[in-house]
Amino acid sequence: MAEAGAILDRGFHLKLRSVVPFLYGHSLYVYWDSFGKYLVIFSTVLFILFVICVGIAINSWMSLRNVRRGRF
């Protein structure tokens, strides 16, 4: 699960960086309505998936730690 979180993190940062050329004052701003908005939505989805993966990994780690300590 940690590997999935790392992959989602890299993908999120890559998509976040790809949004910058579509912002006001940049060369691709004219394409904001047709393409740029979808990059922002995709970045948001990747961020949500990243948060879910990290939450699952932390919860699994805490459960394993409790089982090893003898606490159920």
Q: What is the pTM of this model?
A: 0.68
Give residue 36's Cα distance to chain centre: 17
The 10s digit of each residue's pLDDT in 33-52 is 888 888 888 888 888 888 89
The 10s digit of each residue's pLDDT in 3-13 is 777 887 787 78
Q: Which residues contact 23 (CB under 8 A, 6 or more apart)?
A: 29, 32, 36
CA dihedral 57, 59, 61, 66 (to 10 degrees): -170
* Torsion 38-40-46-49 (CA) sign: negative
